[in-house]
């Protein structure tokens, strides 16, 4: 997980109560012109970064519902010379967490759970169950150790004490991971601090299943994908229309896996709750619009999900006073979803090329400029 320095962000909105209508009209025109200039400068800056970094993938920026910038670079399938496209489907990695968090919020809106409930209600006999709340899982303040991470050997039995296999069923691997998570000692007392841990969202996925009586994947599809007409979004890796590549390599991800002995192996069930969704830019734009316009959860619940706190993390989203965002990585796929809290800007970036400079390039630029328009507006 890449972490950003959360700098101060503010979109410049100019209002002067008591002004005459002619004065207001002039100021509105000036503000509109400033926004046009700012957006043109934003697009110019992004184009420079895309060219200098050799970005390969797809990215779009929207302002007030209008697509003001888009790029489609590189191959979705090099062998068949199919170019990347906003219609193509990519793995979104940890951007899945915002969907899991929203699933919990849907159950909250339905009166079926409470954010303050301790998780011993759902996981009987867990040693820390009477300390950790659902909100702790959402905010990642539980203290539950991460069952996965950047260490390629994390799934080795000698390392963490559990073993999963790419040859196991989803349920077999999930059962092994869940037992490990629920048997751990807490790294710190709940609510004391933020610590990013996929274990939190694994358990949230299980709570969705326990409370709803449905498979997690079915619940998310029925309550989010289908209402928003997200037809290119699923949990099925077979639905991918893109192949994974190392940046600037002529070889496929599969070839690189064999040659470099990396751990980009997809273990059934290991992505549960924390990762695993595949989607397209167009579908993800529908998703953010639906979230912002209270089509999926109530506005009051959305406000809780995205509220600013001293943790920098809401429910499945990093958040501050001005923007919300999350990034994701799985294998050679990387993603980032960013939107401003004034609901004016939305940005979505998806790549199927593993690129070490991805977040320091286009992602960081869009992150900064969406939140820092006062700099662009002068």
Residue extents of the structural domains in the chain: 25-377
Computed over every residue of the chain, the mean pLDDT equals 80
| Other Cβ atoms closer than 10 A to 328 | 23
Q: From 3.40.710.10, 3.40.50.300, 3.30.750.210, 2.102.10.10, which CATH number describes the 25-377 domain?
A: 3.40.710.10
Helices (H), 54-155: 97-109, 134-139
Q: Which of 17-31, 129-143, 239-253, 318-332 has the lowest mean pLDDT?
A: 17-31
Q: Higher pLDDT residue, 136 or 320?
A: 136
Query: Which positions ≥6 away from 275 have C-beta within 8 Å?
Result: 93, 94, 96, 97, 198, 328, 330
Report the DSSP pairing between strands 323-330 and 66-73: unpaired
Distance CA 247, CA 168 (A): 31
CA 102 to the chain's CA centroid: 12
> Which tokens go with 44?
């110019």
* pLDDT over 70 at 167, yes or no: yes
Instruction: Quickly state the pLDDT bin for 303 (edges 50, 70, 90).
Output: very high
Question: Which of 64-68, 132-136, 188-192, 259-263 bottoms out in mean pLDDT, i.e. has the lowest?
Answer: 259-263
Q: What is the DSSP letter of 114?
A: -
Average pLDDT over residues 281-297: 96
pLDDT of residue 263: 47
Name the pTM for this structure.
0.84
Instruction: Specify the pLDDT at position 362.
Output: 63
Q: What is the pLDDT, as a whole number, of residue 172?
A: 87
pLDDT of amino acid 21: 41
Question: Residue 90: which of 124, 116, 57, 122 has the closest Cα?
Answer: 57
pLDDT band at 48 (very low <50, low <70, confident <90, very high): confident
pLDDT exceeds cutoff 90 at 68: no
The residue that leads in pLDDT, 195 or 41, is 195
How does residue 82 score in pLDDT terms, banded at 50, 70 and 90?
very high
pLDDT at 88: 95
Under the banding of pLDDT at 50, 70 and 90, the label for residue 240 is: confident
- Least confident piece of the model among 66-75, 178-187, 251-260: 251-260
What pLDDT, on a 0 to 100 scale, did the predictor assign at position 45?
A: 77
**Segments in the chain forming alpha helices (H):** 21-53, 97-109, 134-139, 157-160, 170-182, 198-212, 216-220, 253-260, 281-292, 299-306, 364-371, 373-377
- pLDDT of residue 13 exceeding 70, the answer is no
Residue 199 has pLDDT above 80, yes or no: yes
CA angle 13, 19, 21 (to 5 degrees): 95
Residue 363 clears pLDDT 90, i.e. is over it: no
Look at residue 1 and tell me whether its pLDDT is greater than 50: no
pLDDT at residue 307 greater than cutoff 70: yes
Predicted pLDDT at 300: 97
pLDDT of residue 154: 44
- pLDDT band at 258, cuts 50/70/90? low
For the segment 307-328, the average pLDDT, to the nearest whole number, is: 91
Give the lowest-confidence range in 36-40, 151-155, 228-232, 334-338: 151-155
Query: Looking at 146-150, 154-158, 277-281, which range is the least confident one?
Result: 154-158
**pLDDT reading at 132 higher than 50:** yes
Mean pLDDT of the 93-111 span = 97
């Amino acid at each position: 997980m890449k972490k950003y320095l959360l700098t101060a962000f503010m979109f410049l909105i100019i209002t002067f109560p008591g002004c005459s209508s002619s004065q207001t009209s002039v100021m509105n025109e000036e503000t509109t012109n400033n926004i046009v200039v700012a957006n043109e400068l934003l697009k110019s800056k992004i184009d420079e970064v895309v060219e200098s970094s050799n970005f390969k993938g797809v990215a779009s920026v929207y302002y007030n519902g209008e697509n003001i910038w888009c790029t489609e670079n590189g191959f979705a399938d090099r062998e068949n010379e199919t170019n990347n496209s906003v219609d193509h489907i990519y793995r979104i990695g940890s951007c899945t967490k915002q969907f899991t968090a929203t699933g919990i919020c849907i159950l909250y809106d339905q009166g079926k759970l409470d954010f303050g409930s301790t998780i011993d209600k759902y996981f009987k006999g867990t040693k820390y169950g009477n300390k950790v709340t659902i909100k702790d899982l959402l905010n990642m303040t539980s203290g539950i150790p991460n069952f996965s991470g950047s260490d390629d050997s994390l799934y080795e039995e000698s390392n963490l004490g559990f073993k999963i296999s790419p040859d196991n069923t989803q349920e077999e691997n999930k059962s092994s991971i869940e037992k490990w998570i629920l048997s751990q000692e807490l790294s710190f007392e709940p609510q004391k601090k933020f610590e990013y841990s996929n274990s939190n969202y694994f358990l949230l996925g299980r709570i969705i299943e326990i409370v709803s009586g449905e498979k997690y994947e079915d619940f998310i599809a029925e309550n989010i994908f289908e209402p928003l007409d997200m037809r290119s979004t699923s949990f099925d890796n077979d639905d991918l229309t893109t192949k994974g590549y190392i940046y600037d390599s002529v070889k496929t991800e599969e070839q690189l896996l064999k040659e470099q002995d990396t751990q980009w192996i997809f273990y059934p069930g290991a992505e549960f709750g924390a990762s695993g969704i595949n989607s397209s830019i167009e579908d993800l734009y529908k998703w953010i619009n639906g979230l912002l316009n209270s089509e999926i959860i109530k506005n009051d619940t959305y406000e809780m999900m995205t509220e600013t706190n001293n943790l920098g993390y809401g429910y499945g989203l990093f958040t501050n006073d001005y923007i919300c965002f999350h990034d994701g990585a799985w294998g050679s796929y990387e993603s980032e979803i960013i939107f401003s809290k004034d609901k004016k800007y939305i940005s979505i970036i998806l790549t199927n090329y593993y690129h070490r400079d991805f977040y320091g390039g286009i992602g960081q630029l869009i992150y900064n400029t969406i939140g820092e328009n006062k700099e662009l507006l002068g």
